[in-house]
Structure 1
Amino acid sequence: MRLTMVRNFSSPFKNCFLVLESFREYTEVETLDGDNKYDAGKEHGLQPALKGVRFLSFPPILHLHLLRYQYDSHLNKNSKINNRFPFPDRLDLNEFMDASDSDSVPANYIYVLHSVLVHIGRGSGGHYVAYINNQPMALVQGKTSKWYKFDDSTVSKSDAKTAVEGNFGEENSESSANAYMLAYIREDKIDEICCKISSDEIPQALKERLEFEKAEERKKWNQTEISVLTEKDLVVNFDTGINGMNLIDEKENINSLGKQVKVKKDTELEVLAREIAAKIYGDKSKDTSKYRLWRFSNVSYKNPTNNNEIVPRMRPSVLIPRDLHGSNMTMNSMWNREHELYYLENAAIDEPGCSSDYNLVFFKFFDVNARQMRLVGSRFLNVAKKSPADLAEECIKMTGLPEGTELNFYEEIACNKVNHIDRARSLTYSISNPMDGIIIVFEISTERSTIVNAKTFCEMLSTTVNIEACDFDANVMGVGFSEDLEHPVQFRADLVRFSIFLFFKYIFQDCTLFEVAMKIANLIEYRAGFLLFFHNERHSKRPGDRFIKGQELINTKLHDFLDSKVNNVNYRVRETFTIFYTKLSIPLGEFSEFKTQNGYLTTIHFARNEKAFFLYRDNETIDDLLERCRENYPFSVDGSKRLRFVEMKQSKYGVIRVIKKSLLAKDVFDSCHTTFIRLEETPLDQIQIDSRHEFIISAIRFSIKNDDYFGAPFFIKFNKEEVFSMFADRMRLMLNVKKELFDSLQFSIISPTAYSDKVVRFDIHNQTARKDLINMIMDLGTTSPNKMPFLRVNFPTAGNSKGNSDEFRPAEPAIYIRN
């Protein structure tokens, strides 16, 4: 017998489904006899023996590590096991004690669950939390224990069901929360281990640290952070970001607009402006009249002639503390202060005071010649006593225009609502709603015209979008060429090659897509009737699979074509909308006579799948379509010059079968519900396949570096009767790699199952691999398409560095857990 100190116990998780089962497997007795006798040394030689493990003692605190990670030798990575593994809240380990030494065995080795350490996520990453039982003795007494969840700096109450049963794991789950370590306390040691600690037992350094953290927390809770704009901030933001409209962009996060200023919550509102000015300008003056603080609020405009038209607008319309009710108010009494925006006005240049007769007025100058709007400043004015002539004096001072310059005035009510102010009437009657945050726009009278003035400029801004027309080469196959066109359809290797040639502004409310097509055709010197427009993919600036046909081009309004993107347009930031089109070799009328099928095509060496659109008629066979596709397919120089369609799965498993040429195209395409088709040039060695001993196998390239597939899946021929080295040579030619790289590749056969993949690794340079391939071929005819085996080729460094986010991702690196 040999005594050993075991410092940790790891449960053999994969083959056991209970904690006690793991202990029984660990302590199982093995008989050593026959050829496996125990070597007892020179004196006794080989002897039959029993080999096993018995425990003499267990510690007061027992840590159990659940092995939820396993190494995948094929992928050279760890993967996580999420299978269900229940564990008890009370654990009796007495059966595993060595009873022969009675002195070392205490009365009971019964343990109570104290904490559960949990990993949430996959093998590639995730998050860690812990559940701790605050009253382990309650379990001994048959009472309900209290559980707490520790999630980073957050501690919250939990319950036994969530903490324990909720972390058993979930079978066949790729991502779940489950326990990876358990901590148990022996029942007879609970009072000793979980005893209360007196203040004297806490080290002084730790006490000081705790007091410091508490003080910092109190200081943090006594402060609040607000976003404050100055006049300079408004001018800069106006010139660079909001396209001449309003004062700010309401869609922006307010915290990104102004300066972030921390103020005490108990600051009185009477001195709040002075306190903020001290932090922004460093002004230590005690004079509270030098600055005024305004809060932005939503003062919606309601059209008096149309009650349904309500335009939201953000203006600095609440003067603090003048417009707030109550006395001796502090910052703490202001509702939602952390989610509001403030404007700090310099009051030194205006008439002092905070009278309710005065209004905050902002001034914009429209430069007619430059077609430019700019914010020039703000004033605190008694609007009721001011006339347009008084406004002219203020505007001339702010812009430095010559004295006596004649000006025209407008009120900007909202982004697309600008009213002319009559110089002969009082401002009280000219302004729609005298309030704080009024915006006055002015221009030089002698420079304006009925077409170019501040009013038409503002209206144009609110009804105009930028259109970016992009020509991309869609692979429209099966239409041939029109001899009278100078620019036939060309194939390009890129999936989408953008050719950004145009930025133009267009008033689109009543504009049709055909008018836009005419505009584009004129600029690119092409025929509008030969342009095919595509709907955009949702939430991206890429062309989708749907396009506009025939009469639809004339009837579709540009506004409807851009759809919801226009309804949510932010005119202030000069958003650009992208329209994708491609040049056809036949007119749209003839194009509309065909039916279309979305699919892919690929070229020699199967570098990648390219989007393609196949045009066919109901009575055509696959052979008829292939014949027409020959006219614009980019054949390789030394290829077979023969085309074929193959069926592919919308998953990681690649190509399924070659489509027979005699089938009707309509029947083939109608049956492609979960698969899609691809057009490709038939490899020379696959033109004729002898079904008696020749087969084609699906192969997919993978990158070990980022654990993702790349390139296009392809078929490779295998001949059972040829020398196996010929198959290796054929594979190297198909992959188009040098011998040095080919020798470093890893090959394996993947057989998909319901919940995981069966992996058979083999050496392609070894003749014994022939048997593995023959077994794979025998499975080809007996499995469904979703479970069809394929050949996986692992490259050491190649592949798409960004991966293919819309496709399957195999197992990823595990998190290494160190205790």
Structure 2
Amino acid sequence: MSYDSDIHSPNHMMVDSQDEMVVQPTQDGNDPVAIIEPDQLDNDADPLENQPLATDFEAMKEIVLPPLLEEPRILEDVVDTWTVEKWRSLPKKEHGPVFYAGGFPWRILLFPFGNNVDQSSVYLEHGFEDANSIPDDWSCCVQFGLVMWNRTDPSLFCHHTAHHRFTKEESDWGFTRFLELRKMFQPSWENSDRPLVENESCNITAYVRIVEDETGVMWHNFQNYDSKKETGYVGLKNQGATCYLNSLLQSLYFTNAFRKAVYQIPTAEDESVNNSAYTLQRLFYQLQISNLAVGTNELTRSFGWDSRHVFEQQDVQELSRKLIERMEERMKGTAAEDALPRMLSGKVKTYVSCIDVDYESSRIEDFWDIQLNVRGIPNLQESFKDYIQQETLDGDNKYWAGDDHKYQDARKGVIFTSFPEVLHLHLKRFEYDIQHDTMMKINDRFEFPETLDLEPFLEKGADNSEPWTYKLHGVLVHQGDLNAGHYYAFLKPSKDGWFYKFDDDKVTKATMRETLEENFGGEYKSSLMQSRSAFSKKPLMRQMNAYMLVYIRSSRLNQVLTEVDQDDCPEHLQKRLDDEAAAKEAKRKEREEQHLFLPVKVITEQTFKHHASTDLTNFDTNPAEDPAAARFYKMKKQATMAELVETVAKDLNQEPREVRLWIMVNRQNKTTRPDQPIMDLRPTIEETYSRSAGTSRDYALRVWAEVADETDEQGNAVWPTYTSNANGVVIKNDLILLFLKYFDIEQQTLEGVGHLYVSKEKKVEELVPIISKKMGWGDKLPAGEQLAMWEEIKPSMIEGLKAKQTLKAAELQDGDIICFQKLPERKSSGEILGKTLRLGDKNSEESLKRWDRFDDAKAFYDFLCHKRQIRFEPHPRSDKVDMEGFELVLSTKATYDQLSERVGEHLKVDPTHIRFFTANASTGAPKAPVRRAGNPTLGQILNPSSYTSQNPQTKSNALFFEVLDMSLAELDTKKSVKVTWLSEGITKEDTFDVLVNKQGHIEDLIEAFAKKAGIKDEREGGRIRIYEIHNHKFFRELVPNYPVLSINDYADVIAERVPEEELGADGRNFIKVIHFQSDPARAHGIPFKFLLKEGEPFSETKKRLEKRTGIKGKAFEKIRFAILRRYDKPSYLTDESVLFEEGGNLEEEASLGLDHLDRTRTTRNGGEMFLK
């Protein structure tokens, strides 16, 4: 009988995950595709020709209980048969008799007429009578098969099989669609002459296999799973695609000696999120003490990664090298200075040894990890043999052994002289496939042992005072293919304990089979693949396999896995994290109690006087930072308004009866003004807020606190209006509450003055003496001085008030704002009120002279509506090294010329010589220069029309500037050439933007470049070579009379001093040099020309190359040199090679390749790998 995919619990709230067979829609949404798990393939095999009888329980067991992928130890097999009679008379649900397996009761659960389907439903369930008596953590892993068969003819049967982790919550599991009802009672069952259920009776046999749950998580659904509780360890959160990083970090964390060394890095003076050593310490300590999975956001930010990097899978080996390298740098000069080299670095010798004469050339270098081949190699030991395999140099490829021995047959290879305490092995699971012209993942089977003996791979005479045996302590796994996949790790934290699987935020125990066998790769076992040919001729390969192994030397296990306790962590770090935890707990408690409180924001006379902008305050600013911000009070919702008045009065150092609060309302024009005083102080704050629902844009009660100017004999406040009589009736007279602001022309400031009460019937001109007195100018203005007044209706609507108009006619009401100013000399009120803003008027002489000063408040209000604080930074390539960044407050209506004028005034330079650059919103780097044509406004410069719909939060308020040696008008006659200057071989690069006349030649470019770079010209310093490169390859050298306009835009321009030895040399004796990593197609760095000398052995040539490149010490020693020819593999050179003979005669076809690590290369996914 074929396998049924509908396996689940009869409980409607418990549906099987269908891990036996998953049906998913195809990409085009048409026919479904069955995705078959390998351990279930037997069940879909074609029916056997000679099936056993259902009464042959041992034979049937082989069919219904096939081998499991997990290969757990079998604890007990039990077979139990239930005879079902009077089928049509059975109730909706029926139980079979209880039987025991594994010490627990079990029984068959039958829905004879289906569990809401037109098929019979059969399940296995535990038989505990009282489910409440079952321990909460009870579980039992069971593989089971259910067979329904004819009692008279046992050759007629139907079977299904499954496995499940039974728990208190998941007490039953089985098959909702076991068998169609119409088929059960058909007279002929599968070409027989009788039905399966005959005379309303049949047998149902349960085959129950209890298997060992060695790890405690087999077939676990992981609902409410607690890693810390179950294993003692916590995982790492996945930021998006950082599972590869999580695996590596866990591996380094459980290398205890590495963790201790990281803790020893001094970071007390640099507790910055940009310090990768500090963030790694934080991460390790959190892994040590936390009960929940830890995030890696701080660490990746310290790497300099943005959101793009955390969603890209980076190269793990390169990440490992860079992270360890960065930590080694931070450890220099500390107690842990030699810890990492001692722990992680070994030595390998590269040699060429003559066969017939006693001559050998060799060099020894350090290694931090080893890359081993996987393709076509069965196991780790064989891969090591492949790594040290010798190459014979004979025939045309003989080795030059110097003048004494000439050309000799020789053996070339590598051999290890020592291995580190902790050995990192990277398996080459990703390789370039020449047939498909792409990178491919290699899923070949590759075995690795739990104990590894490395002595056979050491040179004779190596130090054998300790055995070179290593224990496996880490297996880092990739599951998936080249383009998509998942990373996790199997790690052994202690010397003799378990391996654990670290899968992002989840940690579980792991068996040795899970750690080893399941990660070897290759085909699934044949016992699980009996029916593979029914589906595909190709073998089904495991997609999960090891890509990195961590071995620890057996004799150093105690040192490497040394105990790490809390005292090892820096004290300052513990205190910082404890403080953060306490603050986090306080915030959590605050959130929990938040529903009990309501924030209150209060405007006072003092905050208003500090306010220098529109409206009465900015409710969004912080009172601790801005004295003009509304005061903030966190009040209990059930507190009365009287309690709020007491709190505010105490804060203002006033008596509560001298303070009253006005409710603030949002007007239709989007301003917020006081509406009326709160007379009844008995309601709660919540009730008052509810009554004013809709008056506040945020969840806060907004009020204005008024302090009485006078009191009566009893000390009670005397309020000008809104007073209560003895009966509690509120009396409102004709006085209105107005707020006053003063625009100071001389200081170009706007400030709050205070409030006043005035009758509606008064004229505007009658406010002048009141204002004069309030400002301390006397009872009236001095002779010849006048005031102009405006009503601030809203920030963008400022209307002048007429002197003879009454306040009522001007439609003024409670909470309105009047702005006043002194009139400048020889300006009438009519001239001021009728004047239009000239900012941006290109034809106005005054606009160009005094565009950033304002003669009237209306113009200043317009400035406030359009002002932006702009950050100016010198362009990174600017040669004005003494210039620093600064900030200016400017109007977005300011034109390019006005912007240049203001910046030039600040920098004390000619404004016509300033060029501006906008900033990239994502990286903050400068973009292309701003075009002056059309004299655009600052708003147009910062937010071009194509981006006007962008989120205001993303608008940039930064510009880069560059002070030129010429005006922008003269600049239009120049061509900008980006020149990279090589001042120290090729190790130091400085890039300059050089301006040269468009009609000029390379000799003019050289002259301009020397001046720009501040170096000696050719007459004093020697000849300068200019050449173009493309894709890291030498393109061509540009001669002095070559036109500047003909320089290729796609090529990079390189400048260098011509070495003295190359002056006057024959041009045919040069060879082009390129840098590459492993494959010539992976070129990097800056190529150059190099002079060959006839008959010079390469040992001498290397000395000149070291001087020519500027690469020194170990970095140069690690370089391998090869002759590169088109369509041919690199031909690597030895110290005895003669480069002139190898490549000198083929200078157009051959080049010299320097094979070394590209520290700026992109990963296979395209993302740059870097650590700050």
TM-score by length of 1: 0.51
1:659 and 1:424 map into 2 onto residues whose CA distance is 83
Q: Does 1:404 align with 2:780?
A: yes
1:600 aligns with 2:979: yes
State the shift of 1:522 in Å: 14
Matched, 1:430 2:805: no
Q: Does residue 420 of the first structure (1) align with residue 800 of the second (2)?
A: yes
2:704 pairs with 1:344 = yes
Task: Please tell me whether residue 260 in structure 1 is matched to residue 378 in structure 2.
Answer: no
Report what 1:626 is aligned to.
1002
Q: Is 1:449 aligned to 2:849, yes or no?
A: no
| Aligned residue among 229, 233, 241 for 2:607 | 233
CA shift, 1:365, in A, is: 2.6
Q: How many angstroms does 1:449 deviate by?
A: 3.4
Q: Secondary structure at the match of 1:462?
A: helix
Letter in 1 for 2:989: R
What is the deviation of 1:644?
Answer: 1.5
How is 1:188-587 mapped onto 2 (pairs within 5 angstroms)? 219-238=593-612, 242=613, 245-248=614-617, 257-268=629-640, 270-271=641-642, 273-274=644-645, 276-277=647-648, 280-281=651-652, 285=656, 287=657, 290-295=659-664, 297=666, 299-300=668-669, 314-319=671-676, 330=687, 333=690, 334=693, 338-339=698-699, 342-349=702-709, 350-351=719-720, 353=722, 359-368=736-745, 370-379=747-756, 381=757, 384-388=760-764, 391-392=767-768, 394-405=770-781, 408=787, 409-415=789-795, 417-431=797-811, 434-444=812-822, 449-450=827-828, 456-460=856-860, 462-463=862-863, 497=881, 499=883, 513=897, 531=913, 533-539=915-921, 544-546=927-929, 548=931, 553=933, 555-558=934-937, 562-564=941-943, 580=962, 582-584=964-966
The answer as to whether partners of 1:368 and 1:448 remain within 8 angstroms in 2 is: no
Q: Secondary structure at the match of 2:808?
A: helix
- Quick one: distance in 1 between partners of 2:983 and 2:1008? 15
Judged with a 3 Å threshold, the aligned counterparts in structure 2 of structure 1 residues 521 and 694 are, in CA distance, closer, same or farther, namely same
- Give the corresponding residue for 2:219: 112
| Seq. identity, % | 11
Residue pair 2:478, 2:486 contacting (<8 A) in 1 also: no
**Conservation of the 8 A alpha-carbon contact between 1:120 and 1:176:** no
| 1:642–1:682 Cα contact (<8 Å) kept | yes
Cα deviation for residue 629 of structure 1 reads 0.8
Alignment partner of 1:657 is 2:1034: yes
Equivalent in 792, 805, 810 of residue 1169 of structure 2? 810
TM superposition shift of 1:252: 5.4
Task: Provide the secondary structure at the position in 2 that maps to 1:659.
Answer: strand
Report deviation, 1:656: 2.9
1:11 aligns with none
Deviations 1:234-277 (A, max 9, x none): 32343xxx4xx444458857996333321112345x44741551
Q: 1:676 to 1:458 in 2, by over 3 A?
A: farther
Q: Distance in 1 between matches of 2:164 and 2:977?
A: 57
Per-residue CA deviations over 1:653-690 (Å, capped at 9, x if unaligned) read xx4324343898777635x2xx6444444444566688
- C-alpha displacement at 1:399, in angstroms? 2.4
Q: Which residue of 2 aligns with 1:194?
A: none
Equivalent in the alignment of 1:479: none
Q: After superposition, give the CA deviation of every residue in 1:100-119 in whole Å (9 maximum; x if it has no partner).
A: xxxxx985347222347553
For residue 1102 of structure 2, what is the aligned residue in structure 1?
727
Q: Following the alignment from structure 1 to structure 2, what is the Cα–Cα distance between the partners of residues 523 and 583? A: 14
Q: Is the 8 A contact 1:472 1:580 kept in 2?
A: yes
For 2:1110, the aligned partner's letter is: L
Q: Which residue of the other structure, out of 508, 515, 524, is the alignment partner of 1:183?
A: 508
Select the residue among 975, 990, 1004 that pairs with 1:609: 990
Q: Is the contact between residue 364 and residue 374 of structure 1 (CA under 8 Å) also seen in structure 2?
A: yes
8 Å CA contact 2:740–2:754 kept in 1: the answer is yes
Give the superposition deviation at 1:369. Answer: 5.2
Please state how far the C-alpha of 1:733 moved relative to its aligned partner.
6.4
Distance 1:580 1:542, change over 3 A: farther
Flag the 1:368–1:214 CA change in 2: closer, same or farther, 3 A: closer
Do the aligned partners of residues 469 and 351 (structure 1) sit closer, same or farther apart at CA in structure 2, a change above 3 Å counting?
Answer: closer
| Distance in 2 between residues matched to 1:695 and 1:558, nearest whole Å | 50
- Cα distance between partner residues in 1 of 2:38 and 2:781: 95
Alignment partners' CA distance in 2, 1:518 and 1:282: 45
Q: How far apart, CA to CA, are the structure 2 residues paired with 1:656 and 1:500?
A: 38
Bigger relative contact order, structure 1 or 2 (CA pairs below 8 A, ≥6 apart): 1
> Bigger CA drift: 454-463 or 222-231?
454-463
Contact map agreement 1:602 1:610 (CA 8 A) in 2: yes
Cα shift at 1:405 = 3.1
1:299 CA displacement: 4.5
Q: Deviations over 1:174-219 (max 9, x none)?
A: 9988624543699xxxxxxxxxxxxxxxxxxxxxxxxx99997754
Deviations 1:101-159 (A, max 9, x none): xxxx9853472223475531447789999xxxxxxxxxxxxxxxxxxx97789xxxxxx
**Superposition deviation, residue 411 in structure 1:** 1.9
Cα distance in 1 for partners of 2:907, 2:653 equals 57
| Distance in 1 of aligned mates of 2:959 and 2:981 | 31
Which residue does 2:131 correspond to in 1? none
Q: SS in structure 2 opposite 1:427? A: coil
Cα separation, 1, equivalents of 2:248 and 2:739: 51
CA-to-aligned-CA distance 1:51-71 (integer Å, 9 cap, x gap):
xxx99999x999xxxxxxxxx
Structure 1 counterpart SS, 2:781: coil
Task: Tell me the amino acid that sits aligned with residue 659 of structure 2.
Answer: K
- Distance in 1 between the 2:779 and 2:1047 partners? 81
The AA in structure 2 aligned to 1:583 is D
1:119 and 1:222 mapped to 2: Cα distance?
A: 33
Question: Is the 2:736–2:760 contact (alpha carbons within 8 Å) kept by the matching residues of 1?
Answer: no
**Could you say if the C-alpha distance between residues 599 and 174 of structure 1 is closer, same or farther in structure 2, counting changes exceeding 3 Å?**
farther
Quote the Cα distance in structure 2 between the aligned partners of 1:578 and 1:527.
Answer: 15
- Per-residue deviation, 1:362: 1.5
What does 1:128-143 correspond to in 2, within 5 Å? none
What is the alpha-carbon distance in structure 2 between the residues aligned to residue 546 and residue 641 of structure 1? 32
CA RMSD of superposed structures (Å): 6.5
1:385 positional shift: 4.3
Q: Which has more radius of gyration? A: 2
Give the letter aligned to residue 632 of structure 1.
Answer: A
Q: 2:575: which partner in 1? A: none
Q: Is contact 2:893–2:939 with CA below 8 Å preserved after alignment?
A: no
Unaligned runs of 5+ in 2: 1-36, 40-70, 76-136, 140-162, 167-208, 228-234, 251-290, 296-476, 489-502, 512-585, 710-718, 724-729, 834-853, 1078-1083, 1122-1129, 1161-1165
Is residue 1048 of structure 2 the alignment partner of residue 669 of structure 1?
yes
- The amino acid of 2:776's aligned partner reads G
> What's the offset of the Cα at 1:626?
1.9
Structure 2 Cα separation of the partners of residues 472 and 522 of structure 1: 13
Q: Distance in 1 between matches of 2:914 and 2:663?
A: 53
**Residue 811 of structure 1: CA displacement?**
5.9
Distance 1:152 1:502 in 2: 39
Change in CA separation of 1:254 and 1:658 when aligned onto 2, cut-off 3 Å: farther
What does residue 25 of structure 1 align with?
A: none
Match of 1:646 in 2: 1028
1:447 CA displacement: 6.7
Give the 3 Å change call, closer, same or farther, for CA 458–643 of structure 1 in structure 2: farther
